[in-house]
């Protein structure tokens, strides 16, 4: 079943809609990250009010804490965190790669040590699908092997072969199982291959044959330069199925998002809006504002003139500067609201520009 | 000018109103603490919506950060933090005593080292009044000398004598100066004397002669047992002017507040509602709930049945437990809202019971 419809296109750019059991997501769009089943410093109800249509949670984190048994007893993540719109869940392959103290890739799965208590766990393509069934997101991602950057072509080729085998097993497990909560779920494949276009192409073609509901470019924005990120973006339109939703994972810098939309991507996810906010970096039409900078000490204007968020309508730069200098939680809370609203507005403008 | 009116009394209990340039405060009532010009984890506009009528900020903290020049440029603390209801400001005498690395009480004032950067500063009764003029709270407190507990009678007698001299100088400075922002401010005297009733009585009588707009019992709840706290509460009705507002500083445990209301106190301030919230201790009709406790892991009921706060209407104990276990900011945010609402309701019930 295709959950994605293109409403309008212009060159490689596409304006479309993702339809899930929990609503419609207009694209291009960016998911706010809710790794542990919460948007950092933000209530799900507030995020909903600000117009966000989807979030992404993480299987690695939720499996370890609170654990799948609790999510199942709650009736799935939507109910547990009181978010009634669309949820994507990442498989956690990237988090095993980036957070776990110890990890061992075997052909049948990954053995890893929890970053919380050091306990040992194993993800296989099959149990990972079942975990994402228990979480109950509307769209799940396949388990893949993430590579560092840079890697040799030989290593990447070997890794892509494993990722493809796992994708096939994931798809098979997905197709023979069903949702636990009475609504349908979808599954996206992930294209790997580092910056090697022959491997990315081969991976994309093989995955296309498995007929996923959507496709993602993975293993991007993991520390490589913008030039390399764009090299992968450049490959996408040509190798990813046109009629399916195209997801660029982990990318969220405004210029990269704009560039990727120009090149045919539909959706994104990134920690930047919320993480930067907590560090005092605010996005505005006039560029990034580092609010801890001394020049804002006596600046009684709003962070961004014309912005309709709670911060900009009610508080000054000087007050926000004070909150950050004084280590007050309210600083991160207000800044998160602003940055999320900035991205909501940005994506709306990008959509309306197509 | 008396800013306080008794509307109804029953035994020693009183129901009344404080009138300031920024509104009416119904008493008995409890101030939420906004030490650094912010309620921790809560936007001033939200607090206002929850029905809070007054907050208390701190001169020691605001003088050091953001500094009085900035508060003056902002047009006072009300505008700086966007709180348009009543503000009390404490003189900071207690914070010099509890936070400063080094402090030296001299007859003319206190020399102390900032806990932020180690710089040296001096508070005198006179400059402290001017600082509170710059902050612009509706009610300011005199600079006093806080004593540890326990102290000898001889030490306490000497300290009370200094507190009284300072109170006289504070009152004189207050009466010969005026507000910077076009609305009137009031000043409360602080009764000291540790647990010695003769000293407390002498202090209260001397202060009464200076005709402050209200009176506080200070130096209470600084580490002594409940028995000692109540010993001071027991003295109050007999020695504090009846027609003026009576403030018990730093007390906020529910049973102590109830006991103090029974004994003629009108207002309170305490960090308990917000500090306990951030530590995962929630107040409910059925007692304190330590949400990190494992028994809440799979408890999908609300924190408090019937509570109308955002937390209780939208999230479960199990979800809040997860947020605290995962170290997510949203836990402290939601718990703060609940505890503040709990205290708002508690004080309303106490008022309606008189």
Residue B53 has pLDDT above 90, yes or no: yes
Pair type for strands B214-217 and A109-113: unpaired
A269 catalytic? Reply is: yes
Which residues in chain A are contacts of B61 at CB distance < 8 A?
326
pLDDT at position B101, please?
A: 76
Mean pLDDT of A205-229: 95
Mean pLDDT of A180-209: 98
Mean pLDDT of B291-314: 98
pLDDT at position A283, please?
A: 98
* Tokens of residue B295, six digits: 């028994």
Closest by Cα among A104, A32, A22, A98 to A60: A98
Residue A101 has pLDDT above 80, yes or no: no
pLDDT at position A97, please?
A: 86
- Supply the ipTM of this predicted assembly: 0.97
* Tokens of residue B68, six digits: 């009085």
Mean pLDDT of A100-117: 89
Residue A96 has pLDDT above 80, yes or no: yes
Distance in angstroms (rounded) separating the CA atoms of residues A133 and A175 = 12
pLDDT at position B107, please?
A: 83
Whether residue A303 lies within 8 A of chain B, CB to CB, comes out as: no
The C-alpha of B147 sits at a distance from chain A's nearest C-alpha, in angstroms, of 27
The pLDDT tens digits of the residues spanning A16-33 come to 999 999 999 999 999 999
Share of chain A above pLDDT 70, in %: 100
Residue B103 has pLDDT above 90, yes or no: no
Radius of gyration of chain A (CA): 20
Q: A10-270: what fold?
A: TIM Barrel (3.20.20)
Query: Which of A25-29, A96-100, B248-252, B328-332 has the lowest average pLDDT?
Result: A96-100
Which residues in chain A are contacts of B318 at CB distance < 8 A?
66, 70, 73-74, 80
A90 catalytic? Reply is: yes
pLDDT at position B50, please?
A: 97
Whether residue A296 lies within 8 A of chain B, CB to CB, comes out as: no
Cα B317 to its chain centre, rounded Å, is: 30
Window 19-48 of B: residues touching A by CB (8 A cutoff) are 36-45
Whether residue B175 lies within 8 A of chain A, CB to CB, comes out as: no
The pLDDT tens digits of the residues spanning B303-353 come to 999 999 999 999 999 999 999 999 999 999 999 999 999 999 999 999 999
The pLDDT tens digits of the residues spanning B127-160 come to 999 999 999 999 999 999 989 999 999 999 999 9
pLDDT at position B100, please?
A: 79
Contacts of residue B313, defined as CB under 8 A and 6 or more positions apart, other chains included, come to B302, B307
pLDDT at position A89, please?
A: 98
pLDDT at position B1, please?
A: 76
Distance in angstroms (rounded) separating the CA atoms of residues A234 and A232 = 5
How many CB pairs below 8 Å do chains A and B form together? 119
Angle among Cα A50, A52, A54 to the nearest 5 degrees reads 160
pLDDT at position A311, please?
A: 98
pLDDT at position B183, please?
A: 98
Distance in angstroms (rounded) separating the CA atoms of residues B195 and B217 = 11
Going by pLDDT thresholds of 50, 70 and 90, the confidence category of residue A103 is confident
Tell me if B315 and A82 make a contact (CB, 8 A cut-off): yes
Residue A1 has pLDDT above 80, yes or no: no
Residue spans of alpha helices (H) in B110-152: 125-135
Which residues in chain B are contacts of A61 at CB distance < 8 A?
326
Whether residue A73 lies within 8 A of chain B, CB to CB, comes out as: yes
Mean pLDDT of B207-233: 95
Residue B21 has pLDDT above 90, yes or no: yes
Which residues in chain A are contacts of B66 at CB distance < 8 A?
297, 318, 321-322, 325-326
Question: How crowded is the C-beta side of B298, counted as CA atoms within 13 Å?
Answer: 8
Distance in angstroms (rounded) separating the CA atoms of residues A122 and B44 = 47
Catalytic residue among A90, A138, A256, A266: A90
Residue B123 has pLDDT above 80, yes or no: yes
Question: How crowded is the C-beta side of B295, counted as CA atoms within 13 Å?
Answer: 3
Q: Which of B277, B322, B328 to mutate to test the interface with A (most CBs of A within 10 A)?
A: B322
User: Average pLDDT of chain A?
Assistant: 97
Whether residue B72 lies within 8 A of chain A, CB to CB, comes out as: no
Whether residue B333 lies within 8 A of chain A, CB to CB, comes out as: yes
Bond into A47 cis (ω within 30): no
pTM above 0.95, yes or no: yes
Q: B13-270: what fold?
A: TIM Barrel (3.20.20)
Pair type for strands B54-58 and B109-113: unpaired
Instruction: Report domain extents, chain A.
Output: 10-270, 272-354
The residue of chain A with its CA nearest to that of B337 is A43
């Amino acid at each position: 079943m295709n959950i994605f419809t293109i409403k309008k296109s212009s060159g490689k750019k596409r304006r479309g809609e993702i339809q899930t059991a929990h609503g419609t997501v207009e694209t291009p769009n960016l998911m706010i990250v809710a790794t542990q089943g919460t948007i950092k410093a933000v209530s799900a109800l507030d995020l909903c009010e600000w117009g966000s249509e989807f979030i992404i949670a993480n299987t690695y984190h939720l499996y370890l804490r609170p654990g799948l048994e609790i999510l199942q007893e709650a009736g799935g993540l939507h109910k547990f965190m009181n978010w009634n719109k669309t949820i994507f869940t990442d498989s956690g392959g990237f988090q095993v790669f980036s957070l776990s103290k110890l990890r061992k890739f075997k052909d049948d799965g990954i053995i890893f040590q929890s970053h919380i208590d050091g306990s040992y766990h194993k993800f296989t393509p099959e149990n990972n699908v079942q975990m994402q069934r228990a979480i109950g997101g509307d769209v799940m991602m396949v388990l893949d092997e993430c590579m560092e950057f840079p890697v040799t072509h030989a290593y990447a080729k070997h890794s892509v072969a494993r990722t493809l085998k796992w994708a096939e097993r994931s798809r098979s497990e997905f197709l023979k199982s069903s949702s636990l909560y009475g609504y349908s779920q979808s599954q996206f494949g992930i294209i790997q291959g580092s910056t090697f276009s022959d491997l990315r192409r081969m991976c994309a073609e093989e995955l296309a044959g498995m007929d996923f509901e959507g496709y993602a470019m993975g293993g991007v924005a993991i520390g490589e330069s913008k030039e390399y990120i764009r090299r992968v973006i450049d490959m996408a339109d040509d190798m990813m199925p046109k009629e399916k939703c195209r997801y660029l994972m982990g990318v969220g810098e405004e210029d990269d998002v704009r560039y990727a939309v120009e090149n045919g991507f539909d959706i994104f996810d990134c920690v930047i809006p919320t993480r930067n906010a907590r560090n005092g970096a605010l996005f505005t039409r006039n560029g990034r504002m580092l609010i801890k900078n001394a020049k804002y000490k006596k600046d009684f204007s709003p962070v961004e003139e014309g912005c309709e968020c709670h911060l900009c309508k009610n508080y000054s730069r000087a007050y926000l500067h004070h909150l950050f200098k004084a280590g007050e939680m309210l600083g991160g809370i207000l800044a998160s609201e602003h940055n999320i609203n900035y991205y909501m507005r940005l994506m709306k403008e990008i959509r309306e520009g197509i």
